[in-house]
Amino acid sequence: MNTWIEVPNNTDFSIYNLPFGIFSKKGISKRVGVAIGNKVIDLLACNKLNIFADLDIHNSFFENTFLNDFINLGKKKTNKVREILQKELIDENSKLKMHNDLIFSMFEVEMHMPVNVGDYTDFYSSMEHASNIGSMFRDPDNPLLPNWKHIPVGYHGRASSIIVSGVDINRPKGQIKPVDSENPIFSSSKRIDFELEMGYIIGKNSKLGSSISTKDAEDYIFGKVLFNDWSARDIQKWEYVPLGPFLGKSFASSISPWVVTIEALKPFKVQGPVQHPEVLDYLKFDGFKNYDINLSVSILPGGSEIETVICKSNFKYMYWNMSQQIAHHTVNGCNLNTGDMMASGTISGKSKDSYGSMLELSWGGKKDIILDGGYSRTFVEDFDTILMRGYCSKNDIRVGFGEVKTKLLPSI
């Protein structure tokens, strides 16, 4: 497929992608946009031009501060919007081409939270990550807890502090227990970490009391984003027994602004790891449910202009896939809502340069991570910027996520 829009080589936002987001611009209120190359297409303006006339969608679905209402139109309509846009972008005589005043440069728009997140659940689905943490804190010979290969382990996180790329955060404060002290102190966290994850956004409501099968689960996924699940390891260590993560996690999680649809990711489906022992029936599935998505994390130290890639991983390594996570999440009758955010858990691979957190890369703070420009780190320092990127690529087709970028500022 070729488009008449000038698209940079190797762009994440190719004609095959067309992700949705919420943008605004001087004189233009928040609305739904689609990314192509370095450009953003104004879907409200497209709708006013009757480009989507066949779909009979009211302007209010596009002139909106979040994608939730648009997503609630259902996949039949939202997929059609993508298909129509694709045709318009290929056709040299299209209406869209005649009206290129509704296409803006990405550098002149502001991106916002794409969805109003109602609930957020974080899984723990990478075996390599769970094994690394288990080796460090429990038993290197027996790193996984007995439930781990039977249950896609997860916890309910905090939705209010999910932020979009570009929003700075402050170093959190809390209770920390120094190793040489019997009692905790109140202090700024000394061990701020990122977690390289991918999030997915629920695309339709399910009913309270009903369950979703692995077969139907992907119908409930609208799309995916990059997800940095910020963590304060020292706060987490003191608080997590017996009910799990709380304030060490809830201060912030950052996401990329463009939601890549599950349909755009279809060509990149791959087989996942073999699951042994055999899982219970409700967790069994047919076909490929993993996705080949290359992921990386970079640090840009404060005062430096040189970014260093410190982790290269891949979403295909996940032991538990999204369909199993959804089947498990709803097996007790818990309902899902449009706009809910599910995150994968830290995505680590087997090799040491594929670990998805500083905790693993510095092996509990014992090993320096060497950065270009003469810097080194064990955890994230004030004024560091963490950047995560991700893309799929196959037969010259590239579908990517852009980036999620967050700067850590000192405590206030």
Give the residue carrying structure tokens 């489906």.
Answer: 269
Q: Are 258 and 13 in contact (CB under 8 A)?
A: yes
Question: Which of 123/291 has CB closer to Mn ion?
Answer: 123
The yes or no reply on residue 122 touching Mn ion (CB under 5 A) is: yes
C-beta of 195: minimal distance to Mn ion in Å?
4
The yes or no reply on residue 128 touching Mn ion (CB under 5 A) is: no
Please give the order of strands across the beta sheet that includes 308-314.
169-170, 397-409, 385-394, 294-300, 308-314
C-beta of 130: minimal distance to Mn ion in Å?
11
C-beta of 46: minimal distance to Mn ion in Å?
37
Q: How long is the chain? A: 412
Question: Which of 128/195 has CB closer to Mn ion?
Answer: 195
The yes or no reply on residue 360 touching Mn ion (CB under 5 A) is: no
Binders in 223-282 for Mn ion, by CB under 5 A: 229
**DSSP β-ladder status, 294-300 and 169-170:** unpaired
Q: Which of 129, 150, 156, 328 is catalytic?
A: 129
Tokens linked to 254: 């950052």
Question: Which of 229/292 has CB closer to Mn ion?
Answer: 229
Radius of gyration of the chain (CA): 21
Concerning whether 129 is annotated as a catalytic residue, the answer is yes
C-beta of 176: minimal distance to Mn ion in Å?
20
C-beta of 88: minimal distance to Mn ion in Å?
39
Q: How many residues bind Mn ion (CB under 5 A)?
A: 3
Three-state DSSP at 383 gives: coil
> What is the spatial distance between Cα 180 and Cα 149, in angstroms, rounded to a whole number?
35
Single out the residue of 388, 391, 400 nearest to residue 346, CA to CA. Answer: 388
Other CB atoms within 10 A of residue 63 CB: 16
Question: Which of 17/344 has CB closer to Mn ion?
Answer: 344
C-beta of 248: minimal distance to Mn ion in Å?
10
User: What is the sign, positive or negative, of the torsion defined by CA atoms of 142, 143, 147, 150?
Assistant: negative
User: What is the sign, positive or negative, of the torsion defined by CA atoms of 43, 45, 49, 53?
Assistant: positive
Question: Using CB under 5 A as the criterion, what x/- string covers residues 192-231 for binding Mn ion?
Answer: ---x---------------------------------x--
Q: Are 142 and 133 in contact (CB under 8 A)?
A: no
Q: Are 208 and 241 in contact (CB under 8 A)?
A: no
> What is the spatial distance between Cα 412 and Cα 398, in angstroms, rounded to a whole number?
42
Question: Which of 47/254 has CB closer to Mn ion?
Answer: 254
Question: Which of 53/145 has CB closer to Mn ion?
Answer: 145
Of all residues in the chain, what percent are helix, strand and coil, respectively (each to 5)?
20, 30, 50
Q: Where are the beta strands (DSSP E) in 57-172?
A: 103-105, 110-112, 120-123, 154-156, 162-164, 169-170
Residues that bind Mn ion (CB under 5 A): 122, 195, 229
Give catalytic residue positions: 129
